[in-house]
Structure 1
Amino acid sequence: MMNDQENTIEKIKQTALDEFFMYGYNKASLRMICSRAGVTTGAMYFYFKNKEALFRGIFEPLVVQYEELLVRYMELELAEPELGTQLDVQMMRFILEHRKEAVVILEKAQGSCYEMYRSKAEELMEQSIYTFYKSRMECEPDEKLVKILAKIRLDGCLEIIKGNYSMEDSLYLVEKIGIYSMGGTDKLIQNLREPHSM
């Protein structure tokens, strides 16, 4: 059970998240956040020294958790490739449980410490795809191809996150895309192993 201080901090964070989601980091107003949370600006500054600290307080724990999950799931998929679709569904469940946070950090964080996080997410996706393909091909995959595949995958994730889908529908879509992706991945790896000319 939370005490009064923890309740106040949580109320500020939830209200701030709504404000960041509606207006983005740059246009979000601390005065409006305090007003909507029912706290004074002095109380807010007691817990968070500025807007950046408040933003970081909301997003940093989730970013750390997301990146840890990504590493763990990548290791599991390398060991057992057939788990790929199931792991995609688990990862998307985590993201969908933090849907607003995902939209803010990927599309509305300009001006904050996370303004480049979309690029980082693409790099993490590239790294994951590159490592998987390399393990299956036993040679270096084409980096240009990996970059495009990562972008397609991230755009697909964003489409589901931003769509007006229920959790059940979203996870259904992720599962079906994963099945489609696995078939395409196997075929592409087979094609890349064959000598070819352009």
Structure 2
Amino acid sequence: MAQVLKDEIRQCILDSALEEFFTHGYVRTTIRDIAGRAGIPAGLIYSYYKNKEALFDEVLRPVCFDWKRVMKHGGSPDYQDYKYLSQMEENCIRTLFRHRRELIIMMDKSTKTKYEDEKERLVSEIEHHLNSHKDMLKNHDPVFVHIVANNFVDALLQIAYHYESEEWAMELLNKISKMYLQGIGF
């Protein structure tokens, strides 16, 4: 008879994996570390996940976005009351803040995984999005746009690292967006 997989054990494994990946990163975390934190035999994890990579994928699932799709739905930049994010962008960012540890793992602690270039992919999508509005920019300079996109992602991560509350994070990110976007001509 097949072993019945229990939701509580699966959640315990996920919670333990999140803590281990957040503390040590992907490379330095072992299945044995995760099992030890979860208080279960290491072999039991393999009843739930094929390997460490599959478990890592599951931990990061809440912050896996199609950045291009999110940026595409940014709409035309009609920035009223200095609100610089579309509803889809805002929803995405709120989700990232709700799962800030997963975001930090993906962007800063995913060496030797398929996510190790995710930060650069997000920078590239923001850069592409800003460049798609270059007709609205005063003195468009692609290098400056790249710097702004890179700094925006770094700001997003710094907010995640120093998180106080969702509203605080969104207000701070909006201030940063205002500063950057008004500075480049929007």
Normalization by structure 2: what TM-score? 0.81
Q: Deviations over 1:146-170 (max 9, x none)?
A: 2112111111111211114332322
For 2:147 and 2:20, how far apart are their aligned partners in 1? 33
Q: Is the 8 A contact 2:5 2:48 kept in 1?
A: no
Q: How many residue pairs end up in the alignment?
A: 179
Assess, with a 3 A threshold, how the Cα gap between structure 1 residues 23 and 95 changes in structure 2: closer, same or farther. Answer: same
What is the one-letter code of the residue matched to 2:177?
A: G
Q: CA deviation at 1:96?
A: 0.7
Worse overlay, 52-61 or 20-29 = 52-61
Which residue of structure 2 aligns with residue 167 of structure 1? Answer: 166
How many Å separate the matches in 2 of 1:51 and 1:27?
11
Runs of 4+ in 1 over 6 A off after TM superposition: none
Closer/same/farther in 2, CA of residues 79 and 184 from structure 1, 3 Å limit: closer
Partner of 2:73: 75
- Specify the alignment match of 2:100 in structure 1: 99
Paired position in structure 2 for 1:10: 11
Structure 2: state its 5+ residue gaps. none
2:148 corresponds in structure 1 to 149
Q: Are 1:84 and 2:87 an aligned pair?
A: no
- Distance in 1 between residues matched to 2:14 and 2:78, nearest whole Å: 39
Q: 1:120 to 1:182 in 2, by over 3 A?
A: closer
Counterpart AA for 2:156: C
Report percent identity of matched pairs.
25
Q: Deviations over 1:106-156 (max 9, x none)?
A: 11111222112122121122122222335x36xxx5432221121111111
Query: 1:151-194, CA deviations, whole angstroms, 9 ceiling, x for partnerless residues?
Result: 111111112111143323222212222333343243xx6xxxxx
Partners in 2 of 1:76 and 1:144 — Cα distance? 22
Residue in 1 that maps onto 2:63: 62
Letter in 1 for 2:173: V
What letter matches 1:181 in structure 2?
Y
Q: Distance in 2 between matches of 1:86 and 1:53?
A: 32
Letter in 1 for 2:66: E
SS at match of 1:78: coil
Checking the alignment, whether the CA contact within 8 Å between 1:106 and 1:118 is kept in structure 2 is yes
| Cα distance change, pair 179–147 in 1 and its aligned pair in 2 (3 A) | closer
Residue of structure 2 equivalent to 1:112:
113
Q: Read off the aligned partner of 1:121 and give its amino acid letter.
A: L
Separation in structure 1 between the aligned mates of residue 55 and residue 155 of structure 2, nearest angstrom: 29
2:71/2:129 contact within 8 Å kept: no
Write out per-residue CA displacement over residues 61-82 of structure 1, whole angstroms, 9 at most, x where no aligned residue: 531xx326x6245424326444
Q: Distance in 1 between matches of 2:124 and 2:70?
A: 17
In the alignment, does 2:27 pair up with 1:26? yes
* 1:122 paired residue number: 123
Per the alignment, residue 133 of structure 2 pairs with 132
State the SS of the aligned residue for 1:114: coil
Partners of 1:72 and 1:113 lie apart in 2 by: 20
